[in-house]
Amino acid sequence: MKRSALLAFALWATCSAPAVTNVISGTALLLDDKSVFELTTPLQQYATVTGLTGKLASSGSGVTTILVNRWAAEFALLYPQLQFEIHGGGTADAFRALLEGKVDMIPTGRALSADQIASFRAKFGYAPAEIVVAQDAVGVYVNKANPIAGLTLAQLDATYSRAAKRGGPLPEFWGDLGVTGSLAGKQINQVSLNRSSDHNLFFRNEVMQGAEYRLDVQFELVPGSLVQAAGADEAAICFASVMFATPRTRFVPLQARDGRYLLPSYKNVQSGDYPLVRPMRIVFNLRPNGTMSPVAREFLRFAVSRRGQRIIALAGSYPITPEEQKEAWRSLPASSEP
| Spans of all domains in the chain | 3-29+137-271, 33-136+279-336
More confident residue, 262 or 16: 262
C-beta of residue 304 within 8 angstroms of C-beta of residue 46: no
AA letter at 233: D
pLDDT > 80? residue 236:
yes
**Torsion angle, CA of 310/314/315/317, rounded to 10 degrees?**
70
AA letter at 225: S
Q: How far apart are CA 337 and CA 74, in angstroms?
A: 20
Phi, psi of 228 (to 5 degrees): -60, -30
Lowest mean pLDDT among 6-10, 15-19, 213-217: 6-10
Kindly report the CATH number that applies to the domain delimited by 33-136+279-336.
3.40.190.10
> Burial, 285: exposed, middle or buried (Cβ in 10 Å; 0-12, 13-18, 19+)?
buried
Question: Does the predicted TM-score (pTM) go above 0.85?
Answer: yes
Strands 236-241 and 218-220: unpaired
Helix (H) / strand (E) containing 132: strand 129-134
Q: How far apart are CA 128 and CA 117, in angstroms?
A: 7
Long-range contacts from 253-262, C-beta under 8 angstroms, 24+ separation: 253/18, 253/149, 253/150, 253/151, 254/140, 254/150, 254/151, 254/152, 254/153, 254/156, 255/16, 255/150, 255/151, 255/152, 255/153, 259/16, 261/17, 261/18, 261/149, 261/150
Residue 337 pLDDT level (bands cut at 50, 70, 90): very low
Q: How far is CA 238 from CA 99, 103, 228, 241, in A?
A: 34, 32, 10, 10
Q: How far apart are CA 213 and CA 225, in angstroms?
A: 19
pLDDT > 50? residue 33:
yes
pLDDT in tens, 166-209: 998 999 999 999 999 999 999 999 999 887 777 888 899 999 99
pLDDT in tens, 305-334: 999 999 999 999 999 999 999 999 999 986
Q: At what angle do helices 306-313 and 62-78 cross, to 10 degrees?
A: 130
Do domains 3-29+137-271 and 33-136+279-336 share one topology? The answer is yes
Residue 18 pLDDT level (bands cut at 50, 70, 90): low
Residue 169's nearest CA partner among 8, 3, 2 is 8
C-beta neighbour count of 313 within 10 angstroms = 24
Q: How far apart are CA 251 and CA 283, in angstroms?
A: 30
* Superfamily of domain 3-29+137-271 in the CATH hierarchy: Periplasmic binding protein-like II (3.40.190.10)
Q: Say what the pLDDT of residue 89 is.
A: 74
- Mean pLDDT confidence for 48-61: 93
> Burial, 81: exposed, middle or buried (Cβ in 10 Å; 0-12, 13-18, 19+)?
exposed
Lowest mean pLDDT among 9-18, 27-36, 166-175, 193-202: 9-18
Q: Say what the pLDDT of residue 20 is.
A: 52
pLDDT in tens, 73-94: 999 999 999 999 998 877 888 9
C-beta of residue 97 within 8 angstroms of C-beta of residue 59: yes
Lowest mean pLDDT among 40-44, 108-112, 213-217, 302-306: 108-112
Percent of the chain past pLDDT 90, that is, above it, reads 77
Residue-averaged pLDDT of the chain:
89
Residue 61 pLDDT level (bands cut at 50, 70, 90): confident
Q: How far apart are CA 65 and CA 242, in angstroms?
A: 15
pLDDT > 90? residue 154:
yes
Q: Say what the pLDDT of residue 88 is.
A: 82
Helix count (H) and strand count (E) of the chain? 12, 12
C-beta neighbour count of 2 within 10 angstroms = 7
C-beta of residue 201 within 8 angstroms of C-beta of residue 110: yes
- Mean pLDDT confidence for 28-48: 95
